[in-house]
Amino acid sequence: MPNIVSEAGLQTRAGQWWDSIPFLTSAVVIVCGVIYLICLLVGYDSFYEVCFLPEAIVSHFQVYRIYTSIIFHGSLLHVLFNMLALVPLGSELERIMGSIRMLYTIILLATSNAIFHLIIALVVAHNPFHPFEHLMNECAIGFSGILFSMIVIETSLSGVQSRSVFGLFNVPAKWYAFILLVVFQLLMTNVSLLGHLCGILSGFAYTFGLFNFLIPGPSFYTAIESSSWLASCVRRPKFILCSGGNPSAYIPTYTAQNSSSGALFSGNIWRNLSSWMPQRGTTAQPAQDDPRFPGRGRTLGSVQNTAVNSDSNLQARLLDNSRPTSPSDIAAAVAGERLSNERQLQVNDAVAVGAGGYPLPQMPQVASEEQIQKLLSMGFERTQVEVAIAAADGDLNVAVEILMSQQG
């Protein structure tokens, strides 16, 4: 039969791609997409009422704008571009942190972005040298500020030294977010420079551990995941639990490890991340030969292992039903195995003592000249022959096995 190779259809591949996106990331994509579609269908375009407007927040305390501004978008290209950028960034971070922790991180980043935005706008608008009040009336909308924070966090976690800007050229990793900020500002009109810049500042603040005091412990996320009102979401296969992730409840940074900030973008952080994930138990590998101790080393208990193997071989032969077994055969087999074990014990003891070239503490029997000559004719040295015969109690067969094992 010929091999038939068929490619999956576009609908199948789209379904597989969507199934690979974790729960919270896909939920954010759905929420932003549905909100834009509703606004498009009903003709709602009063984004001035939901955008991030520093003047309205300061004067009328409209704090809701901090969160409504990140889920509304002004155009189809705006929401499409932001969501396509969110899928890889959000999926990677959500797999590291978990769905609930990721949601908390997005809320934290949105809040910090707004605080930085307000502070900078107030300082620039009310500075005594050259007031610039335009920033107080700038209406910022879209999820891109959170995306810039995620870019900084993901870049610091990747540990790479350089990043590619749209596949055109490479830039140092620590400047990657700022290069993107400049590129977007030059290529696109009506883009909030301050909103993107505050996202970068929030990402660096999070990475350097400045928000650690605001991040709860793992028990907080576990309590939320175990609550009854979230049970339907937790049971979904795309939902990622926080258990088994980072025990300190925030993304690891070099700052948290008492390292200098210059090392934030260097090293291999994925190697550190692997130590926080649950690992399968591994067996210890045998140690390599040490050049300080030449010779053939043997581990303790090798004699017992040999005896166990011999017993298992004997049991295998006794249980073999290919031919009838008489009591005399069983007795002969047991006697043969016992003799073999005793001989192997003698060989192992002699090798363990004599392989390193050390003299035996005592000689049970003095070798005769005839026995020595027989073994010398086989090409062995006289000193080794005498030691082997003495260790074998005059048994030439055992002595030959000792000498052969030393030669091997």
- Inter-residue contact 56 to 138 (CB < 8 Å): no
pLDDT of residue 103: 95
pLDDT of residue 178: 93
pLDDT of residue 135: 86
CA angle (177, 83, 268) in 5-degree steps: 45
- Report the CATH number at residue 54: 1.20.1540.10
Is 52 in a helix, a strand, or coil?
Answer: strand
> Residue 200 to residues 59, 126, 148, 251: CA-CA distances in angstroms?
26, 23, 5, 16
pLDDT at 407 over 90: no
Number of domains within the chain: 2
Nearest to 210 by CA among 116, 89, 72: 116
pLDDT of residue 297: 37
pLDDT tens sequence across 175-224: 999 999 999 888 887 888 999 999 999 999 999 999 999 999 888 998 99
Residue range(s) defining the domain that contains residue 385: 369-407
Query: Of the candidates 235, 261, 292, which is a domain's last residue?
Result: 235
Element housing 162 (H / E)? strand 162-165
pLDDT tens sequence across 144-180: 999 999 999 999 888 888 888 888 888 898 899 999 9
Catalytic residue among 69, 91, 99, 144: 144
Query: Of the candidates 220, 235, 250, which is a domain's last residue?
Result: 235
- Whether 134 is covered by a domain: the verdict is yes
- Whether 49 is covered by a domain: the verdict is yes
Amino acid at the residue 194:
L
Query: Of the candidates 235, 269, 302, which is a domain's last residue?
Result: 235
- Whether 349 is covered by a domain: the verdict is no
- Whether 155 is covered by a domain: the verdict is yes
- With pLDDT > 70 as the criterion, what percentage of the chain qualifies? 67
- Report the CATH number at residue 383: 1.10.8
- State both tokens at 333: 């087999």
- Whether 311 is covered by a domain: the verdict is no
Return d(Cα 186, Cα 276) in angstroms, integer.
Answer: 41
Q: Does the annotation count 196 as an active-site position? A: yes
Nearest to 138 by CA among 52, 46, 44: 52
- Whether 174 is covered by a domain: the verdict is yes
Return d(Cα 68, Cα 56) in angstroms, integer.
Answer: 14
Return d(Cα 148, Cα 198) in angstroms, integer.
Answer: 9
- Whether 127 is covered by a domain: the verdict is yes
pLDDT of residue 165: 86
Catalytic residue among 73, 78, 117, 196: 196
pLDDT at 247 over 50: no
Least confident window among 65-79, 195-209, 302-316: 302-316
pTM metric for this prediction: 0.59
Nearest to 245 by CA among 109, 94, 89, 107: 94
Please tell me which residue, 250 or 114, carries the higher pLDDT value. 114
Work out whether the CA dihedral 240, 241, 242, 245 comes out positive or negative: negative
pLDDT at 89 over 90: yes
Return the bridge partners of 164, or none.
170
Least confident window among 251-260, 312-321, 370-379: 251-260
What is the band of 321 on the pLDDT scale with cuts at 50, 70, 90?
very low
- Whether 115 is covered by a domain: the verdict is yes
